[in-house]
Structures are given as structure tokens and as C-alpha cells.
Amino acid sequence: MSITLPLRLIRNLLWPAQNTRQATTNNMTSSEKEQINLLRGWPSRALLPLPLIRAAAATVLSDPTIAYDGLLYGPDEGYLPCREAVAAWLTTFYRPTHRIPADRICISGGASQNLGNILNVFTDPEYTRRVWFVTPAYMLAFRIFEDAGFAGKMRAVPEDEEGIDVEYLRREVRRSEEVARREGNVKPRFKPERKRAKVFKHVLYCVPSFSNPSSRTMSLTRRRELVRLAREFDMLVMCDDVYDMLQWPVDGEDLAAMETAHLPRLVDIDREIDGGAEREDADGFGNAVSNGTFSKIAGPGMRVGWAEGTAKFAYGLGQAGVQRSGGAPSQLTSIYLTHLLNTGQLQNHIHTVLRPAYATRFKAMLTAIETHLLPLGFALPQPDRDVAGGYFLWLGLPGDMQATDLTTRCQKEENLIVAPGGLFQIPGDDAVLCAQNVRLCFAWEDEEKLVEGVRRIGEVATRLSKGEERASEEYVLVNENGGDEPEMQSYM
């Protein structure tokens, strides 16, 4: 079942009015309460490193030996000093068995742009049998896969408290392989053979750590099982590793203990286990790619990210037509970030600003949930975890309460914006239903609003459970354009 939102509401969520009175009018609510937005998955304005970026830009543009490089076409795989700086930074944080060399890194225009580029290079809309999503899934990724020709071929894979259900995936992949054999789907139809790239039979998309939206983290055991399954079935696992550095202990205040990753990435596991991704009998492209971004750290407007895979994979990605023609994306801003990484300023911003601030917001929201929602029957995933992170918390609703009922009334009665879980279901596949879940973001609003927002959810939920009717009019979630898909932008 698709969940849609009115285009006017989406615009108001993305570009809120400058004052509460106007916001109230635009959102068609009778409430005089200040709007609180727990849907918007953006970094807080107050935490953006504007002074650091301003100073880095001034330094770079004042030095003609690098300023002109920034204004010209960049190398296909990205500005080499940036690739080197990113590789060194990732080596320090993830602590893999072997140092990460620059030839494993390809600079991108951000995680979303890079998803599209990876699909363009390494998939074929017919030969690639299925695109699998750990579900609930980041819903704004759906259109990226549809644009690559995979509408109708996207399938949900459930998760439990350890993450992806690997045995469910194995069973469904085998079924799709049987169909491919019956149909004679034995070679790519739309992509030519080329040594610089390959076409995978299957693709899986996931956010292994602090997932958007479920907030779950995939266990080490499941990560290893998934890499081995990917090798067995010629699958590329596309990992949005975009929240990894925003981590903290659930209990206690020892943030210094969290300055290195608490789990290896799938791309690290693929590099190491059973002879590694570049073992003698392999094709050298590997079966996992880490999709990284500076959007959650330096700001999404920087439009800089990176892919890490095998050297062969990174080279093939850099040889995409758009980069051969236009050069590396984000050439100038990647040089700003190179300066911030090489001076340690960006790492310091993560350690002293972002991690403490988001940890405080997370704990404020969690305490409010424990106070106002858990007694009503709401539920949290992975309640016994030691490490938390990212931007989101995923709530199960009590009884037979429906997310659309709750979120609609929150907006109408409390001027509170919450994402209904149905948004994160896979289009065309009801194998995993999310109609009794909501997603809350703790990154955008400050602690006071987070606590107040959770309290308002509790008020609405209490009224719903008692059967009280408070909304002044029925509020139908539709698309003003007449279709069944909302025109959403990157606010998730």
C-alpha cells in the first residue's frame, strides 16, 4: 500500500515559513502551537561547520597552485590529494587489517549521485534480475533505482534484531535465478562488454549501521553471511555507510571511546575474508561497495562523497561516461575538504561538535520516548544495544494503531510532522509492511523540541486509543498532481 503526502505539505516541510503564524496557515492546522518537524532528515543548521568551510575556501582560493586545479576539470576518479586524504581518514577510523590505499577511492558528488552512477556502470535493467532492499528502506532511493530501469524489479528483504534476514534473501535469490534460467537471461542485453566494468546479476541496497529508517545496526555475523551470499550469487551489495562516524555509547558519556568504528564495513569484510575480494579465482571487482558522503558531516550542499571498493571497481566507476566527459564531480569543494581533512579540523569537528550534540539529542528523545510512549505500548528496535548513532529512531505502534492515522492527527492537532512507516515500504512489494511504524529524526530540531514533539505524539496516541475525534476535518493524504507518488525532495 502506497503512502502519499500532499505536495503543498511537502513544500512546507522542506521550506518552512519564517514565523510560526505563517507556518500554521500553510499547514492547514488550527493549532497555535509552534511547529516541530521530526520528519526532516537534515543536519542541524547550528552544527554546520560554516567558519571552517569559509576559512578553507579562502585558503584554497588564495593559493594559485591549487585554486586553478579546483576550477578546471578534475581527474576521472577525483582529485588525488582528496582520495589520499579520505583513504587515510578511513584507515584511521575503521582500522582495517591493511591500510586503505587511494586507488580504492573514487570521489563522487554525494551518496545519492553515486548510487545512480554505480547502477549506470555495474547493472543492466534486464540481466540484473532483482534489486533487493533491506526493509524498511530509505525511500528516496527508490526513484534512483527506478530511473535506472528497475521499476517492478525491486524486492523487500525483512530484518530482525540482528539485521538482514540472510536466509530469506537466499531463498528469494534462488527463485529469481530459476526464473532467469527459464527465460534464457544469460547475458547483459543493454550494456556492452567492457573490461573496465562488469554487470552484476543482483544488487542489494542497505544502510548497515544506524539504518535510515529503522535505526538498526547489522551484526558482524550477518555482515559476513551477506558477503558470502553475495559472492555465491554474483551480487553487488551497495552500502550507504553515511552515519558510521556519528556514533556514541547508549549509556555513559565516554565519547572518546567511540573514535573508531565499532564494526567493520561490508567492504572491509569483502576485502579480508576467504582470500579477499581480489583473490585469485575472483574477477577483481568485489561484491561490496561503501558509499560515503560528507553531507552528514560538513553539509549536504558541499556535494562531495566517495565510493570505496576494490581498485578495479573504483577505476571502473571513474570511467563512467559522465565523469570521462565532465571530470570528477565536486572538484572545487573536494579541495576545500582535502584541506580540512589534512589539517584535522574536520575530524575535530566530528569529535567535539557533532558526536556530542547528536548524542545529547538522541538521549533526550530516547528518555522522552521511555517516559511518554513506551508506557502506551510503543516499541523500539534493538533495545539492548550498547552503541547508537545516526539520525533516526524507529517506533512500533501499539495495538492496531495505524501510522497514517497517528501522523495525520499529529499534524492537524499538534502542528507536529512525523514520517509514517508506509513511506519506507518497497513499491510493488508488500512482503514487509510498515503501516504500524513511524520514523523520528533527532538531528534537525533541538533537545527541547524533541522532548516536546515526543510528548505531543503521546497526547495524540492517547486520544486515538480512546477513540476521541479531535481533527476538525478529514485530511486526505494525496498528491495534488493526481498521481499516487508524492513529489518529495531530499529531506529524508
> What is the tens place of the pLDDT at every residue in 437-454?
999 999 999 999 999 999
67 falls within a domain: yes
Give me the CATH number covering residue 364: 3.90.1150.10
Based on the fold, state whether residues 39 and 62 are members of the same structural domain.
no
Indicate whether 334 pLDDT > 80.
yes
Same domain, 383 and 415: yes
277 touches 312 (CB < 8 A): no
> 14-28, 48-62, 133-147: which has the minimum mean pLDDT?
14-28
Residue-wise pLDDT for 146-196, tens only, equals 999 999 999 999 999 999 999 999 999 999 999 999 999 999 999 988 889
The per-residue pLDDT for range 368-395, each reduced to its tens digit, is: 999 999 999 999 999 999 999 999 999 9
Question: What pLDDT is recorded for position 258?
Answer: 80
CB contact at 8 A, 272 and 97: yes
For residues 272 and 189, membership in a common domain is answered with: yes
> Residues 258-267: what's their mean pLDDT?
94
> What pLDDT does 470 receive?
56
User: Are 81 and 70 part of one and the same domain?
Assistant: yes
Is residue 491 one of the residues assigned to a domain?
A: no
Examine the fold and report which residue of 344, 359, 377 is the final residue of a domain before the chain moves on: 344
Q: For the chain, give me the number of helices (H) and strands (E)?
A: 17, 16
- Whether 183 and 323 map to the same domain: the answer is yes
**Which residues neighbour 39 within 8 Å (Cβ) at sequence distance 6 or greater?**
13, 417, 418, 419, 439, 441, 491, 492
In this prediction, residue 76 has a pLDDT band, given cuts at 50, 70 and 90, of very high
Query: In the numeric block, which cell numbers belong to residue 311?
Result: 581498485
Do 372 and 322 sit in the same domain of this protein?
Answer: no
Number of domains in the chain: 2
**Does position 20 have pLDDT exceeding 90, yes or no?**
no
pLDDT at res. 9:
47
- Which residue range is the domain that position 98 belongs to? 50-344
Q: What is the structure's pLDDT at 21?
A: 40
Residue of 32 and 268 predicted with greater confidence: 268
pLDDT the model gives residue 252: 76
Listed residue (248, 245, 306) closest to 107, CA to CA:
306
Q: Are 425 and 156 a contacting pair, CB within 8 Å?
A: yes
- 55, 41: one domain: no
Same domain membership, residue 388 and residue 251: no
Using the predicted structure, report yes or no on whether residue 403 has a pLDDT greater than 90: yes
DSSP string, 277-336: TT-TTS-SS-SEEEEEESTTTT-GGG--EEEE--HHHHHHHHTSHHHHHH-STTHHHHHH
Residue 96 lies in a domain: yes
Of the pLDDT bands very low, low, confident and very high (cuts 50, 70, 90), residue 489 is very low
Average pLDDT, whole number, for the chain?
A: 91
Number of Cβ atoms within 10 Å of the Cβ of 101: 14
Residue 31 has a pLDDT of 52
Shared domain check, 146 and 179: yes
What are the beta bridge partners of residue 163?
160
Let me know whether 99 and 218 are in one domain.
Answer: yes
Mark whether 383 and 307 lie in a shared domain.
no
Residue 490 lies in a domain: no
Out of 320, 344, 368, a domain closes at: 344
Listed residues 344, 367, 390: the one ending a domain: 344
Q: 265 in a domain, yes or no?
A: yes
Q: How many whole angstroms separate alpha carbon 36 and alpha carbon 464? A: 20
Q: What is the pLDDT of residues 305-332, one digit of tens each?
A: 999 999 999 999 999 999 999 988 999 9
The confidence score (pLDDT) of residue 264 equals 98
